Amino acid sequence: MKLRKYNQKGVALLPAVIVLVVILAAGGVFWWVKDHYKKTTNLPITTISPKAVNPGQNIDETANWKRVTSSKSAFSINIPDGWHVVNSTDLDLIVASLADGVKYAPGTPATATSKPVDDPDAVHRFEIFVDTNARQFDTDSAASRTSFTASGLTGTRYSEKVQIKYTTDTMQEYEYLFEHNGKACHAYYRVLSGESDSVAIVEKALKTLDFK
C-alpha cells in the first residue's frame, strides 16, 4: 500500500498565509476607519451669528422710553430714561424739577408720579403743558427762533440766555410752541450756567409728542 506524503513545505507556509491575510484585513479596516473619520470631521460647520446691524442704520432710542399721557389726555410724550417727572392731576401739565429731574440714564426707565403740582408757575427744569394761548411766554421777543417739527406738527423753537434774578448766574432757556385745533402746546427746558446741556435728549423726547 502506497502512503501519500504530505507536502511539508506547503504546511509550513500556511501560518504565514494566515498572518498575511489577518494583516491585510486589519489594514483594510484601519484605512476605512481613517477615511470615514476624515469625511465626518471635514463636514462644513454651520454657525448662527447674531443679526448684523448696518452701521448706517438709525436706532430709535426713544422707542423704549416711558410713554406718559397728560391727565386730561391733551397730549402724550415719551419721557427719556432716568427722568423723574410729575404728571399733574389738575392740569394738562408734566414737569421735572431743577434738582434732578432730567438726568439721562439709558436703560433706567423714567418715573412719572401723578399728583397736583405744588406751584405750576415755578421755574422747572422741564415742563410741557397745553392751553389756548398760542403766544411766546417766557423767552424774550429778541430770542433766536427756528422752526421745529414734532410728529408732523411744525412749531417754533426759541432760545436765549437770561440773567437769573438777584444772582450773577445765567440760564439757557429753550421754549417750544405748537398750535393745533385752536390749542397751544408749550414746552420749556432750562440749563443753569456750568451745567451740561441735554437739549438734544429733550428734543428727541419732543419729537415723540402727540398733541391732540
pLDDT one-digit tens code per residue, 143-175: 999 999 988 889 999 999 988 777 778 899 999
Is residue 112 a contact partner of residue 80, using CB atoms and an 8 Å limit?
Answer: no
- The Cα 171–Cα 67 span in angstroms is 28
Place of cell 450773577: 168
Q: Name the residue ranges covered by the structural domains of the chain.
A: 63-211
Q: Rounded to whole angstroms, how far apart are CA atoms 132 and 148?
A: 20
User: Left, alpha or beta for 152 (phi > 0: left; psi -120 to 50: alpha)?
Assistant: left
Least confident range from 19-28, 59-68, 79-88: namely: 19-28
How does the average pLDDT of the chain come out, rounded? 81
How far is residue 159's CA from residue 149's CA, in Å, rounded to a whole number?
Answer: 16
65-95 pLDDT per residue, tens = 999 999 999 999 999 999 999 999 999 999 9
Residue 13 φ then ψ, to 5° = -80, -20
Mean pLDDT for 52-59 is 62
CA distances from 19 to 25, 26, 27, 73 (A): 10, 10, 12, 96
Superfamily for domain range 63-211: Mog1/PsbP, alpha/beta/alpha sandwich (3.40.1000.10)
Structure pTM? Answer: 0.71
